[in-house]
Amino acid sequence: MNSVTPVRPHKPLETFYDEPQKRAAYLNDLFDNTAQHYDWISSVLAFGSDKRYREMALRKAGLKTGMKLLDVATGTGLVAQAALDLGINPADIVALDPSRGMLRENMKKRPLFMVQGVGERLPFPGSTFDFITMGYALRHVETLDALFQEFIRVLKPEGSLLVMELSRPESKPLHSVMKLFMEKAVPLIARFRTRDEKLPELMRYYWATIEECVPPADIVTTLKNTGFSKVERRKFGPVLNDYYAQKS
C-alpha cells in the first residue's frame, strides 16, 4: 500500500545542492566523474573485505544459478561481479544505473545487459525477475516507498530482494572515527593515487548521507508497508545492514 507521506532516505542536503529537484543531476555528475576510481575507493572503505562480504550476503539471501537477477544502482558492477563469482550466468543478469560513467566502467569488465535508469521507474514489465539486489545506494534514491513499489512490481511471485546499506553508528566514538576516516583520511589516501577534486566531495557526500539516513527500522517498516513479506534486517557489525524481503 502507498504511504501518505513519501519516505525519503534523508533530508535535502543543501551543502551539496540548493534545491531538492537538483539532487539527481548533482548525483549523476558526481558519480560520472568519480566512476574510474570507485572500485578502489570501495575496497579502501571496507579495508579490503568488500568482495568477500558481497558474496556472503548474496549466498545467505538465497541467490542461485538459474535465477534472473536485476542489480539496481549497479555502479561499476561490484555486486553483479559477486553474483557472477557465485555462478550466475551473465545472460541472467540485468544491470541498471542512472550514471553513464558508472555503466561505462562496468562495461569494461563484464559482458552484462546494462540499462541506464533509476530504481523508482524501472523500464521492465511486471513479474520479470527472480531476485533484485541493491548495494549501498538506498541513500541516493528519491523515496523508499516508490523504489520498493517498483521492486515488488517487477519481481516474480516469491521473488527475493536484498538491499545492502550502511547506517549511522550508534556509538559516539565510532561516529567520530568514521567521520574523520571518510572526510579526511580517505581523501588524503586518494591524493597519493589521483588529484581528482571530485573524490573528496564524494566522500563528504557519502558521509552526509550516512549521517542523515533514515533509521533501519523505517526501512523495514516501509518494506512491509509496500507489501513485502518475510522482511528481515540482518546486521553485521556496527554499520553494515542487509535488508531481505520476499514478494508473496
**Other C-beta atoms lying within 10 Å of the C-beta of residue 238:** 14
With CA atoms as reference, report the closest residue to 144 among 205, 45, 228. Answer: 228
pLDDT (0 to 100) of residue 197: 80
pLDDT profile of the chain (248 residues), mean per 10 = 76 91 94 94 91 96 98 98 98 98 97 97 98 98 97 98 96 96 90 82 95 97 98 95 97
Tell me the C-alpha distance between 184 and 188, whole Å.
6
- The model's pTM is 0.95
**pLDDT attached to residue 20:** 87
Q: Which of 29, 10, 5 is nearest to 20 (CA)?
A: 10
